[in-house]
A and B are shown apart, each in its own frame.
Chain A
Amino acid sequence: MSRVLVVDDAAFMRQTLRDVLEGAGHEVVAEAEDGEEALALYETHRPDLVTLDLVMPRMGGIEVLRELRRRHPEARVVVCSSVSDETSILEAIRLGARDYVLKPVSAEKLREAVAKAGRGP
């Protein structure tokens, strides 16, 4: 089971993600509503996994991912984004995101992505 940091600017999304993750036995250690907060909370909590929204005010998900992987190459990130962001999703994968889940998030797919992203090399 993983300790997860949930990053999304929409409170509704954060709640949904928390419900699904906790339902699957994971621990949501913190929630961030923008990129800067996400980086700060990562330092504080050192979670096993981050779920990351790509489109956020102030610092967007791509920048967060780039910065996070620069500081912590071992950071595991699952991107949650909408399909219209395909280019951003491709960019996120290039930057080392472990997986992505499309919005609206399917509980089943999120559970699978988080379970598998938490494992493996």
Chain B
Amino acid sequence: MSAGMERYRKLFLEESLRHLEAAEEVLGRDAAGPQDLEAVFREIHSLKGMAGSMGFAAMAELAHRLEDLLDAWRVRGTVPGAEERELALRACDRLAEMRDDIAAGGAGDVAWDDLAGHLGRAAEPEGGQGADGLRVRIHLAPDSGSPAARAYLILLRFREADPAVTSDPPEAEILQGGGVEALDLVVHGLGRADVEALYETLTEVAGLEFPDPAPLSEPAPHAPVPSPPEEAAPPPPPETSPPPPEPPEGPRVRLPETVQVPVGILDSFVDLLGELTIARSHIENSARRLGSEVLLEEVDRLGRIVRGFHSRVMELRMLPFGLVVGGLRRLVRDQAARLGKSVTLEVRGEEIGLDKSILSRISDPLVHLVRNALDHGIEPPKVRERVGKPAQALLRIEAERVRNRVEVRVCDDGKGIDVEAVRRRAVDLGLVTEADSRSLSPAEIFGFLFRPGFSTREEVSELSGRGVGLDVVKAQVDAMGGTVELTSSPGEGAEVRMSLPLSVAIVPVLLVGLGRRVLALPTAAIHRTVEASPRDVRRTPDGHVLLTEKGQVPIAALGKIVGFPCRTRFERMPLVLTASQAGTVALAVDAFLGEQDLFIKPLKGPLRALRGVGGYSVLGDGRLVFLLDPPSLLPA
């Protein structure tokens, strides 16, 4: 086993123990409520994902089955009885035995057949018509765009008719997004005819089946699992893959259900996908010029296939956030011990999937923020006790999927940062006038902490805060197409929030026109767009400003900044409100040309020196378009 693989194994052993202990703690409690059980569900879900990633099939399967049981409790909405909790605890025990086997160098293959039947029966939903219910399998159309959304739609449609419907994959898994080919449902109180009628109202479906009630202990098909990142490049020797179960009779060849792929191949997939997307746009344009309806339909079909392929490839590249947390745990432990501080580290959202390019780049900023919190934010136990806080400080790292992005937060309950002190320093440094600084919101004032050279170690300790080198963090987050902000209350702690794209290559943009040219602005960087009329605009000695409810926003002509000819009209001026280093600014453009997802390629060679340009792409009509990076485009 390679050193990298060994490291992941260690990490896995450490983390899996923690998940199991947390789950067992709740299950052992008599008074566990739905919230607690939800937490157990998450622990087991994380464990399942990790075991799957590591190729420990038996453990992943048992965790999956236990998760089904927990999900059934959740759906039922009642607190399970002692007997059922006992069953869940036994499953946890067995998972722990598997973990021990892995620790001893095995593959975690501990038998659990004795539990399978019980788990299966207990996970059956309670129905008015016997324990069984009607089994329904719905196949999604192979060209169904966004199959997760389609599966979710179907599940909700059935839930309208039967609130107790259960599904495989379960709702939580569907909502993670990704590939679903078929949805297995168990419904109650509905006959075949009802189901058929309901099926008729669905779209993008490719078949309805009523499978026989198969024993639930039969293994469910495995979802594809992500491969470990870079370090774990060499595929494991065959003997580490799970030994096949006893074949029923006669010889039978079983191939492993997962394979490991070198990361380089995944990267080349993304490049090729980009080429494919661009090629498709070219064909679409030609088809439009030719006015060929037939060709357009085909291009449309091709587009859906490309998108389906795209989402699968992106899914392959997804790795759990938890992978970067293992190292942080050690960092917190060692650093806290060294500083004589007492810190509990709480991690949430380890199962959240992030593109590997993002994951590999988030580690540095996270280490920086955690160090900052430990060095400057969290007080020594004595000091904490003196101000009436628990001696043990809390440091929380959490990841959460928020729409199309992932939010990663680092929060501590340390001494926090005094907003007034930051404001004064910004004035001292001449970043803002005393008068202007009075009208800034706390968020805007904390924004100064991210300016290069704003805080040095000495001054920061005087400011009773932290924020050392936050400019470095900001630069790293910006480079990923993310944003970062800080909030704090003195005495209560601080929180740094990073909002990151799920993937770096495909960027949702707003295309804007300047004369005959087109530029792209990342939608993530846009506060909003307005078409200003003359009464929204006022002339001041410093130039034009836009009048908004929140005050005046300076208007800058984008054409002037980038040196493109443009015509500024005042009758209906399209403005893009975006953040600059000097606060919000309204960029005047000639026209909004619409939103689009662009496959962004990085600039190479001397072009990399271009300020304010984050990359380029080729539009469907073959025009080159540059992606602007508003914060670095505009001078402070």
Contacts and interface: CB of A to CB of B under 8 A. Distances in A.
B404 interface: yes
Interface of B: 145-146, 148-149, 152-153, 156, 160, 175, 177, 200-204, 284, 297, 300-301, 303-304, 307, 310-311, 401, 403-404, 506, 508, 523, 528-530, 592, 594-595, 597
Given A87-B404, A88-B403, A120-B201, A99 B177 contact: no
Given A84-B506, A84-B597, A102-B145, A93 B403 contact: no
A82 B528 contact: no
Nearest to B308: A83
15 contacts: A57-B528, A84-B508, A85-B404, A86-B148, A87-B177, A87-B401, A87-B404, A90-B152, A90-B175, A91-B403, A100-B149, A102-B145, A104-B284, A106-B301, A112-B203
A55 B526 CA distance: 13
A83 B311 contact: yes
Contact of B177 (A55, A86, A94, A109): A86
Contacts of B204: 109
Nearest to A83: B307
Contacts of B595: 55
B181 to A, nearest CB: 16
A90 B148 contact: yes
Interface string A4-18: 000001100000000
Contacts of B201: 116, 119-120
Given A57-B528, A112-B203, A83 B404 contact: no
Interface in A35-59: 55, 57-58
A61 B262 CA distance: 40
Interface in A94-121: 94, 97, 99-100, 102, 104, 106-107, 109, 112-113, 116, 119-121
B193 to A, nearest CB: 15
Nearest to A78: B203
A57 B148 CA distance: 26
Contacts of A55: 508, 523, 595
Contacts of A94: 152, 156
Contact of B146 (A83, A97, A112, A113): A83
Given A85-B404, A87-B404, A104 B300 contact: yes
A109 B303 CA distance: 14
Contacts of B529: 57
A88 B203 contact: no
A52 to B, nearest CB: 14
A65 interface: no
Q: Which of A9, A58, A83, A113 has the most CB of B within 10 A?
A: A83
A32 interface: no
A102 B597 CA distance: 13
A89 interface: yes
Contacts of B506: 84
Contacts of B528: 57-58
A96 to B, nearest CB: 8
Counting from the closest, the 4 A-B pairs by CB-CB distance are A102-B145, A120-B201, A89-B149, A83-B307
A104 B302 CA distance: 11
Q: Which of B202, B300, B506 has the most CB of A within 10 A?
A: B300
B202 A116 contact: yes
A55 B510 CA distance: 11
Given A55-B595, A86-B311, A102-B146, A109 B156 contact: no
